[in-house]
């Protein structure tokens, strides 16, 4: 046996064991790594506000606390408002349920010539096996729902804690990262960090503004048509249409169309027309003006990045895909050498002069123009 063979076997087994342990540890820590990724992008989003307050003499810790306090108050107010609206709409729905049930029973009786009564339907529902099984399953699932709520609160606390430290100790983190790199690499890292801050913050701010505009526009439409739950539906359309890029407007418009159809089928058609027109207005007028200096990427690239991010990290990947791709595009654009584009009609998108000469229509126009002066000189 060669002398190097036992050592090579031990080294190969050690590498396999290290790989297996690393794979196991990565799968166990996937949730924590995703929370850290969310916290990092959240810290990048609030970095401009914290840096602006720190530049005026305020400590970064206090500035970060004030920013988080403002975000918490805004989120709590938004959730409270949305919850109150949902509760009010649910109460109205419950109060109007007997009228809906009576109208449905009357339609069934007139259409199918039956003799149903509301009392019989209610007694049948109360004594049905389906309702009893549903109540038992709901009671058994209370503990699962409580565990999920506690897990969500713990995850929210983890994200908030990491994002607070990332934002408050941003300069210290950058110094620690640059201390292990040569000076040339330090400049590149700091430049990439600055680009990431600009793109992430700009993306979230522009999306929030467009969500507000979209929600108000759809609320005005639904309220003018008399569609119920207009405030809640406006908030729904504003959030879903902006934070699910490219197709979010059409996905968000499905729910208002369904509710409008219950009021009047033509109202659903009007909602569909408005959604399509507003999507074009947003794509060609509103979005270019708001995102020209923040996240300037092609819609096809944005759609592909969202699909890839969703496949890798789920909903979190869909949210961070666009600012991550915009950061990478802006960082790589600084190292790509560009040249002047040749003056060719195939590049500029319009038909140029035919190299073989003018076309038949052009020659006919020239002959007609040449003959007209001769005709005018005739007596």
Question: How far apart (Å, rounded) are the C-alpha atoms in residues 158 and 151?
Answer: 10
| Separation of CA 53 from chain center | 28
pLDDT value of residue 13: 92
Structure token pair of residue 208: 């929030």
DSSP-derived letter for residue 356 is: T
Q: Which two tokens stand for residue 142?
A: 């209370």
Contacts of 48 (CB under 8 A, 6+ apart): 197, 198, 201
How is the chain split into domains, by residue range? 29-120+159-180, 183-335
In residues, how long is the chain?
A: 379
Q: Which residues of the chain have pLDDT under 70?
A: 78, 82, 85-86, 88-90, 92-94, 96-97, 118, 120-147, 244-247, 288, 290-300, 315-316, 318, 330-331, 333-338, 344, 347-379
Residue 245, CA atoms < 13 Å, CB-side half-sphere: 28
Backbone angle region of 2, left / alpha / beta, with phi > 0 → left and psi within -120 to 50 → alpha: beta
Long-range CB contacts for residues 124-129, cutoff 8 Å, separation at least 24: none
Q: What's the CA gap between 292 and 337, in Å, rounded?
A: 22
**Is 164 within 8 Å of 38 (Cβ atoms)?**
no
Return the pLDDT at 356: 46
Residue among 71, 24, 22 nearest 45 (CA): 71
pLDDT for res 363 = 59
Q: What are the helix (H) ranges across 129-229?
A: 129-140, 142-168, 170-178, 183-225
Write the DSSP assignment of 30-49 as a string of letters. HHHHHHHHHHHHHHHHHHHH
pLDDT digits (tens, 9 = 90+) for 10-61: 899 999 999 999 999 888 888 888 888 888 888 888 888 888 888 888 888 8
What is the per-residue pLDDT for 16? 93
């Amino acid at each position: 046996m060669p002398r190097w063979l036992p050592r090579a076997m031990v080294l190969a087994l050690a590498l396999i064991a290290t790989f297996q342990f690393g794979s196991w540890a990565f799968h166990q820590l996937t949730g924590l790594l995703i929370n850290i990724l969310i916290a990092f992008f959240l810290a990048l989003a609030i970095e401009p506000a914290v840096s602006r307050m720190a530049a005026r003499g305020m400590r970064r810790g206090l500035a970060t606390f004030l920013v988080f306090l403002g975000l918490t108050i805004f989120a709590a107010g938004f959730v409270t408002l949305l919850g109150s609206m949902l509760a009010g709409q649910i109460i109205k729905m419950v109060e109007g349920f007997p009228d809906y049930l009576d109208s449905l029973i009357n339609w069934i009786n007139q259409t199918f010539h039956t003799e149903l009564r509301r009392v019989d339907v209610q007694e049948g529902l109360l004594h049905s096996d389906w309702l009893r099984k549903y109540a038992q399953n709901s009671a058994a699932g209370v503990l699962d729902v409580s565990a999920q709520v506690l897990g969500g609160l713990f995850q929210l606390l983890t994200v908030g804690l990491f994002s607070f430290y990332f934002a408050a100790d941003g300069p210290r983190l950058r110094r620690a990262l640059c201390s292990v790199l040569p000076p040339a690499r330090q400049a590149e890292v700091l430049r990439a960090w600055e680009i990431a801050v600009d793109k992430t913050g700009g993306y979230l701010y522009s999306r929030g503004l467009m969500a507000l505009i979209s929600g108000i526009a759809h609320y005005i439409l639904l309220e003018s048509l008399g569609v119920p739950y207009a405030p809640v539906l406006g908030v729904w359309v504003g959030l879903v249409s902006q934070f699910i890029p490219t197709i979010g407007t059409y996905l968000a418009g499905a729910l208002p169309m369904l509710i409008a159809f219950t009021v009047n089928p033509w109202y659903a058609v009007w909602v569909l027309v408005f959604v399509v027109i507003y999507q074009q207005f947003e794509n060609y007028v509103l979005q270019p003006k708001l995102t020209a200096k923040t996240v300037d990427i092609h819609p096809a690239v944005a759609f592909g990045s969202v699909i890839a991010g969703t496949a890798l990290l789920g909903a979190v990947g869909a949210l961070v895909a666009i600012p991550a791709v915009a950061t990478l595009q802006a960082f790589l654009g600084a190292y790509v050498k560009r040249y002047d584009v040749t003056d060719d009609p195939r590049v500029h998108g319009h038909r140029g002069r035919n190299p073989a000469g003018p076309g038949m229509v052009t020659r006919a126009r020239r002959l007609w123009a040449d003959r007209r002066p001769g005709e005018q000189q005739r007596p």
